[in-house]
Amino acid sequence: MCPETQDRENTMFTTLRWSALGVATAAAMSLAGVAAADGHAKLKVGLITTLTGGGAGIGADIRDGFMLAMKQGGEGIEVVVEDDQRKPDIAVQLADKMIQSEKVDILTGIIWSNLALAVVPSTTAQGKFYLSPNAGPTQLAGRGCHENYFNVAWQNDNLHEAAGAHANTAGFKNAFILAPNYPAGQDALKGFKRMYEGELAGELYTKLGQTDYAAEIAQIRASGADGIFFFLPGGMGISFLKQYADSGIDLPVVGPAFSFDQGILQAVGDAALGVQNTSQWSKDIDNATNKAFVADFAAAYGRLPSLYASQSFDTANLIISAAAKADVKDQDAFRDALRAADFNSTRGDFKFGNNQHPIQDIYVREVIKEGDIFTNKIIGTGLTDHQDVYAADCKL
């Protein structure tokens, strides 16, 4: 665990930063929003996510998806929202504050694996539940699994494993792969290589938050690769795709859904058209829950939902289903109710494996243009009923 990874580059400012930190924290605290406070809540949920700075779009989707479900069925559940600014130290402070002074029963909302690794172990150690709507680091799926930690999205490797399997189908023989150098990035390349059968023309780790990929693209050009796999979530993906499209290299690209989610596709524009990506969710999955979710989300917020929104929507509905069955004060009963996963998921069938990570289908999607809007369409299934490999190491 190394909660300081992202702030390494700020070392020269340490003294300046400490004085500024007070301001930052004060600003973050004031952003706290409280919903569904009707006197006596039977369950209190703390949602910590990234609402300012880079990655704020993902945080907005996580929050809005969660709140949509709560609005539809979360009577008696109180939600406290805080902004972690994508900084591990702030996420830890917020988690402690929520547990100790807000007295929440469940924490959720964190997007980034390095933040989750800083927050989850101390949350479960304090006897609270943590339900992850996004990050699924390896460390928490295998030997580090915990009875109070549930992952409603995926284990980090999953989407990349599907991309690896799809790369075989697409006929990649000599792939170039790259990802940022942080826990989820390492999981990504590991996951891809687990399923991919061809050779590697090159393997690269980039800096987290890097926005210029000229050096990497030059290496791709020189490597003689016949295909590219990349995992660069959020703004990093936008930068990479735009620069790649401009580079004149014309190789097929596959990746996980994170660089092709609804929130960033419009900013990438034509550069993303036709790219195949893997996801456990898509807006055209054909079931009643998903259709209603897509329509309600669009009506409530005026934009299409992303996979992040679907994950937090599912997380909220899982909490609602468990709260209907058991009182959170009776931890064993509540845990069993969570494990049963007795809710209507936007993904259709939803079940947990022994390590409390999902077992699910992962689809292959293609970026298309519907009218003026760039979006995704399912073109096949990458992996069926897929479970992560770390489950075997988990003692639960």
Partner 1 sequence: MSTILLIEQILNGLQFGVMLFLMAAGLTLIFGVMGLINLAHGALYMVGAFAAASMAAWSGSFTLALIAALVAAAMFGALIELTVIRRLYKRDHLDQVLATFALILVFSEATRWVFGSFPLFLDMPDALSGTVMLPGGIEYSKYRLTIIIIGLLVALGLFLLIARTRVGMRIRAGENDREMIGALGVDISILYTMVFALGAALAGLSGALVGAIQSVEVGMGEPVLILAFVVIVIGGIGSIKGALAGAILVGLTDTLGRTLLPVLFSTFMDASAATTIGSALASMLIYILMAGVLIFKPTGLFGSA
> Which residue among 35, 267, 300, 340 contacts partner 1 (CB under 8 A)?
267
Least distance to partner 1 from the beta carbon of 258, Å?
A: 14
> Which residue among 211, 295, 351, 379 contacts partner 1 (CB under 8 A)?
211
Q: For residue 312, count other CB atoms closer than 10 A to its CB.
A: 31
Least distance to partner 1 from the beta carbon of 227, Å?
A: 18
Is residue 80 within 8 A of residue 44, CB to CB? The reply is yes
Cα 350 to Cα 35, 271, 319, 353: the distances in Å are 27, 34, 14, 10
258 vs 352, which CB is nearer to partner 1? 258
Please state whether 201 falls in left (phi above 0), alpha (psi between -120 and 50) or beta: alpha
Least distance to partner 1 from the beta carbon of 167, Å?
A: 18
Least distance to partner 1 from the beta carbon of 200, Å?
A: 8
227 vs 233, which CB is nearer to partner 1? 233
State which H helix or E strand residue 96 sits in: helix 88-100
Report how far apart the first and last C-alpha atoms of the chain are (Å, whole number).
Answer: 22
> Which residue among 255, 263, 358, 382 contacts partner 1 (CB under 8 A)?
263
176 vs 390, which CB is nearer to partner 1? 176
Least distance to partner 1 from the beta carbon of 379, Å?
A: 25
Phi, psi dihedrals of residue 100, rounded to the nearest 5° = -85, -45
Q: How far apart are CA 144 and CA 50, in angstroms?
A: 25
266 vs 331, which CB is nearer to partner 1? 266
Least distance to partner 1 from the beta carbon of 209, Å?
A: 6
Q: How far apart are CA 255 and CA 106, in angstroms?
A: 32
Least distance to partner 1 from the beta carbon of 346, Å?
A: 21
18 vs 384, which CB is nearer to partner 1? 18
> Which residue among 16, 125, 379, 392 contacts partner 1 (CB under 8 A)?
16
> Which residue among 47, 48, 60, 319 contacts partner 1 (CB under 8 A)?
60
DSSP state of 89: H
Between 38 and 57, how does the x/- string for binding to partner 1 read (CB under 8 A)?
Answer: -------------xxxx-xx
CA 67 to chain centre: 17
Least distance to partner 1 from the beta carbon of 187, Å?
A: 13
Within 8 A by CB and 6+ apart from 306, the residues are 58, 61, 261, 262, 263
Q: How far apart are CA 152 and CA 311, in angstroms?
A: 7
Between 190 and 209, how does the x/- string for binding to partner 1 read (CB under 8 A)?
Answer: ----------x--xxxxx-x
Residues in 215-244 at the binding interface with partner 1, rule: CB under 8 A: 215-216, 218-219, 221-222, 234-235, 238-239, 242-243
Within 8 A by CB and 6+ apart from 138, the residues are 155, 156, 157, 183, 187, 190, 390
Residues in 168-187 at the binding interface with partner 1, rule: CB under 8 A: 181, 186
Amino acid letter for position 363:
Y
Considering the rule CB under 8 A, would residue 396 count as an interface residue with partner 1? no
Q: How far apart are CA 61 and CA 80, in angstroms?
A: 16
Residues in 287-306 at the binding interface with partner 1, rule: CB under 8 A: 303
Least distance to partner 1 from the beta carbon of 236, Å?
A: 8
DSSP calls for 35-65: E---SS-SEEEEEEE--SSTTHHHHHHHHHH
CA 223 to chain centre: 31
Amino acid letter for position 383:
L
- Of 12-20, 33-41, 92-100, 150-158, which segment contacts partner 1 by CB under 8 A? 12-20
Q: How far apart are CA 81 and CA 377, in angstroms?
A: 32
Least distance to partner 1 from the beta carbon of 45, Å?
A: 21
Binding site for partner 1 (CB under 8 A): 8-13, 16, 19-20, 23-24, 27, 51-54, 56-57, 59-60, 181, 186, 200, 203-207, 209, 211-212, 214-216, 218-219, 221-222, 234-235, 238-239, 242-243, 246-248, 263-264, 266-269, 303
